[in-house]
Chain A
Amino acid sequence: MKLQALIIDDEPPARKKLRHFLKNENRIEIAGEAEDGIDAVSKIEELRPDLIFLDIQMPGLNGFEVLEALQVKRPQVIFTTAFDKHAVKAFEVRALDYLLKPFDENRFREAVERVFQDQSAQKEIQNKISTLIAEMQPEQKYLKRILLRSEGRISILKTEHIVRIEAEEKYVRLYTGKESCLHRETMNALEEKLDPGRFVRIHRSQIVNMERIKEIRMWSHGEYVVVMADETKLPLGRVYRENFLRVFEQG
C-alpha cells in the first residue's frame, strides 16, 4: 500500500512544486493539501495521512502549533521552511531533517528516503519532534487561544474573548457573550493553563474572566453574587471567595 501524504503550505506554488516532485515517487500518494494551519489540523484529523510536508510559517497556526494541536496520532513529518533562524536552529540541534526552500529534486528525494527507514529510526525521529514541539512554545506563559472542534470544523477562540467557563461533566462550555460552545477538556485541566490573574474560579463549576465582571453584589450572611457583563448572575462559592476577592481587589 502506498503512503498517504498531505501537503501543507500557504503558498500555492510551493504546494505545486511538492506535487511535481511527488509525481515521480510511486511509493507515495497525495491524499490532500492544506493551505493554512487550521486547515492542516482538520485535514490531518480527517484524512489521517501517514506523512505530511509541513511548512513552518503560516498564518493562524504555525507548523509547530499544528503538531501540538493534533488530537490524533502524529504522522511522519517532513518540515519545509524558507527562512526561520529559530526553527532551523532547533532542527540542527536535534539533527532533524528539514527542507530549505528552494530545494531541488535530489534534496527532496533524500528527505523522502528517510521516511522509509526502519521503525526504530522513525520512533527516534518522532521523539525528537515531541521535544521540539514542547520547546517551540516557550513565550506564552498562559493559554492565549483555544482550538475549538465542532462537526468537522476547527476554529480558534482567543481566551480574552471568553466571558465565563462552565463545567459540563467531562467537557466545559465556553461563553463568549451571545454564543457558547462545548470544548473537550476538563475544568481543572483548563484552569491550570489559564492566567490565574484573569480567569478565576468562583464556584465548583464556574470560572469567570475578571475583565468581564460588571459588579459584585453582597447578599445577606456574607454571600456574594457575581454579575457578569452579559447580566448572568453567578453565586460565589465559599471555598473560592477569599482567592476571588484578593484577585478582584488587585484589579
Chain B
Amino acid sequence: MNKKTRSLWLALFGICTFIGLLSFSIAYSEGAIDGDDTPFYYPLIHEMTGAYAAFLLLPFLLRFFNRFPVTKENWYRTIPVHLMGSVVFGVSHTLLMTGSRVLIFAALSLEEYKMGEPVLRFVMEYQKQILLYVGVMIGQRMVRHYLASREQERRTAELELQAGQYQARLMQARLQALQAQIQPHFLFNTLNMISSTMFEDPARADRMITRLSTLLRMSFENSGNDKIPLKQELDFLELYFEMMKARFEDKFEASILAETETENALIPNLLLQPLVENAIKHHDSNSIKIEIRSRKVLEDLVMEVVDDGPGLGESLPVTSGVGLSNTRDRLQYLYGSSHQFQLRNNPERKGLTVRIQIPWELSAIPRPV
C-alpha cells in the first residue's frame, strides 16, 4: 500500500468514526429528551458497530462501483445490478453489525444482545443502508471527477510550460541562425588577409573582395527558416572555403563530395556552415582538413561534416557548443522525430563526424544558382 492510499483509508476511517459518534450523539440526546435512562454505552456500541461495519465493507463496495459504473448508456443494466448489490451489502452489513454487537456485549459481560425480529431488523436496516449505498456511490464519483480535473489542469499547465520553453529556444535559434551566418571573427580576418594581399597582388585582392561580397550577399539573402537546395549551401561553402584557403594557405584543406542527385534536395538554409565553423573553432592544430559529404539513403538525405580535429573527448565541451545545440533545435523544430543528428569520432583517424539525416525533399523547380 503506498503512502497515498494509506492516507486515503485513514481519512475514510476518520469519516466513519465521525459519523458513528455523531449518530451516537443524536441517539443519546433523543433518549435523554424522552427520559430514557439507558446507559450511554448501549447507543455508543450500537452506532459505532454500525459505522465500522460499513468501513470494513467499503473496499468491496468501492470495487463493485468501479466494476459497474452507472452511465447514461447502461443504466437499464447497471441499476438492477446495484439493486441486488445493495441487498447483498445490506445483509452483510446487518450481519456484521449484529454479530459484532453480540461479541462485544458478551465480552463486556453486559446483558445479552437482542437483534429482535430478524426479518424486520433486516428490512429496517436496509432502508438506512440503501441511503448509505447511494451516498458512497455519489461520493466516489465526485472525488474521481475532482481528481481527474485536477490532473487535467496540471497536464495542461505542464504542456503550456513546455511549449513556452520550446518557443523561446526556437526564437533564439532563429535569431542566432540569422546572426551566425558570418562570424565577425571570420569577416575581419578575411579583410585583413585581403589588405595584406593588396600590397603585392592588387588583382587578387580585388577578386577576393568580389568573392567576399558574394558570400555576404548570400548570407543576407538566406535568412529565416527557408529551405534551399543543397547546391546553394554548397556554393556558399565553396566560397567560404576559398577564403579560408587564402587565409591559411596550404594549412587548410576542404573538399565537397556530393552525389549529383542530392544537389536539388532541400535543406534548411545555412545548416552546414555553422557545423564547419564549429569544427574550425575547436580545432587544436593549425592544419585543418574538412570534408563535406552528401548522399541519398532510401528516402532520406544524409549529410556529413568530417573534420580532423580533437573529436569528442571527456574534457571537450564540443557537444554543448552553441553552434551544435542551435542546429539540434532547428532540426527538431523542422523535422521532429523524422531526423537524426549524430556526433561521433572518426573510426580510423583523428577527428569528428557530424551526421545529419533528414527526409528527402526536392525543390519543385531546380533553381538556377
Q: Decide if A and B are genuine partners.
A: yes
- Taking residues whose C-beta sits less than 8 angstroms from the other chain, chain A's interface range is 20 to 34
Task: Judge if A68 is at the interface, Cβ distance under 8 Å.
Answer: no
Closest beta carbon of chain B to A11's beta carbon, Å: 5
Q: Is the CB of B199 within 8 A of A20?
A: yes
Task: Judge if B209 is at the interface, Cβ distance under 8 Å.
Answer: no
Given A11-B247, A144-B315; A102-B197 close (CB under 8 Å): no
The docked-state distance in angstroms from the alpha carbon of A36 to that of B283 is: 12
Q: Is the CB of B247 within 8 A of A59?
A: no
Q: Mark A56-86, 1 if CB is under 8 A from B, else 0.
A: 0111100000000000000000000011100
The docked-state distance in angstroms from the alpha carbon of A57 to that of B183 is: 14
Closest beta carbon of chain B to A81's beta carbon, Å: 9
Q: Is the CB of A17 within 8 A of B199?
A: yes
Across the interface, name the chain B residue whose C-beta is closest to A158. Answer: B315
Q: Is the CB of B285 within 8 A of A11?
A: no
Across the interface, name the chain A residue whose C-beta is closest to B189. Answer: A82
Task: Judge if B246 is at the interface, Cβ distance under 8 Å.
Answer: yes
B248 contact set on A, CB distance < 8 A: 10-12
Q: Is the CB of B192 within 8 A of A82?
A: yes
A83 contact set on B, CB distance < 8 A: 183-185, 187-189
Q: Is the CB of A57 within 8 A of B185?
A: yes
- Which residues of A (173-212) have their CB < 8 Å from a CB of B? none
Task: Judge if A16 is at the interface, Cβ distance under 8 Å.
Answer: yes
Task: Judge if B7 is at the interface, Cβ distance under 8 Å.
Answer: no
Task: Judge if B112 is at the interface, Cβ distance under 8 Å.
Answer: no
- Which residues of B (292-314) have their CB < 8 Å from a CB of A? 313-314
Partner of A101, one of B188, B197, B199, B314: B188
Partner of B286, one of A36, A84, A100, A158: A36
Across the interface, name the chain B residue whose C-beta is closest to A18. Answer: B196
Closest beta carbon of chain B to A108's beta carbon, Å: 11
Across the interface, name the chain B residue whose C-beta is closest to A104. Answer: B195
Main secondary structure of the interface of A (DSSP, over half): loop
Task: Judge if B151 is at the interface, Cβ distance under 8 Å.
Answer: no
Q: Mark A6-25, 1 if CB is under 8 A from B, else 0.
A: 00001111101100100000
Across the interface, name the chain B residue whose C-beta is closest to A55. Answer: B189
Task: Judge if A35 is at the interface, Cβ distance under 8 Å.
Answer: yes
Task: Judge if B193 is at the interface, Cβ distance under 8 Å.
Answer: yes
B246 contact set on A, CB distance < 8 A: 13
The docked-state distance in angstroms from the alpha carbon of A144 to that of B188 is: 31
* Interface residue count on the B side (C-beta < 8 Å): 26
A-B pair number, CB within 8 angstroms: 72
The docked-state distance in angstroms from the alpha carbon of A14 to that of B313 is: 31
A57 contact set on B, CB distance < 8 A: 185
Task: Judge if A110 is at the interface, Cβ distance under 8 Å.
Answer: no
Partner of B284, one of A13, A60, A84, A160: A60
Q: Is the CB of A14 within 8 A of B286?
A: no
B104 contact set on A, CB distance < 8 A: none
A158 contact set on B, CB distance < 8 A: 313, 315
Partner of B192, one of A17, A20, A36: A17
The docked-state distance in angstroms from the alpha carbon of A125 to that of B183 is: 31
The docked-state distance in angstroms from the alpha carbon of A16 to that of B200 is: 10
Q: Is the CB of A12 within 8 A of B249?
A: yes
Task: Judge if B191 is at the interface, Cβ distance under 8 Å.
Answer: yes
Q: Mark B171-198, 1 if CB is under 8 A from A, else 0.
A: 0000000000001110111011111110
The docked-state distance in angstroms from the alpha carbon of A16 to that of B205 is: 14
Across the interface, name the chain A residue whose C-beta is closest to B252. Answer: A11
* Interface-centre pick from A12, A16, A36, A144 (highest chain B CB count, 10 A): A12
B286 contact set on A, CB distance < 8 A: 10, 35-36, 58-60
Q: Is the CB of B314 within 8 A of A17?
A: no
The docked-state distance in angstroms from the alpha carbon of A57 to that of B248 is: 14
A13 contact set on B, CB distance < 8 A: 192-193, 196-197, 246-247, 249
* Interface-centre pick from A13, A83, A102 (highest chain B CB count, 10 A): A13
Q: Is the CB of A102 within 8 A of B249?
A: no
Partner of B191, one of A16, A60, A101: A101
Across the interface, name the chain A residue whose C-beta is closest to B285. Answer: A59
B193 contact set on A, CB distance < 8 A: 11, 13-14
Q: Mark B308-326, 1 if CB is under 8 A from A, else 0.
A: 0000011100000000000
Across the interface, name the chain B residue whose C-beta is closest to A82. Answer: B188
Closest beta carbon of chain B to A141's beta carbon, Å: 12
B194 contact set on A, CB distance < 8 A: 102
Partner of B315, one of A16, A36, A100, A160: A160
Report B's interface with A, CB cutoff 8 A: 183-185, 187-189, 191-197, 199, 246-249, 251, 283-286, 313-315
Additional 20 contacts, C-beta under 8 A, given A58-B286, A101-B192: A10-B251, A11-B248, A12-B249, A13-B192, A13-B249, A14-B192, A14-B193, A14-B196, A14-B247, A16-B196, A20-B196, A35-B286, A82-B184, A82-B192, A83-B187, A83-B189, A102-B188, A102-B192, A102-B194, A158-B313
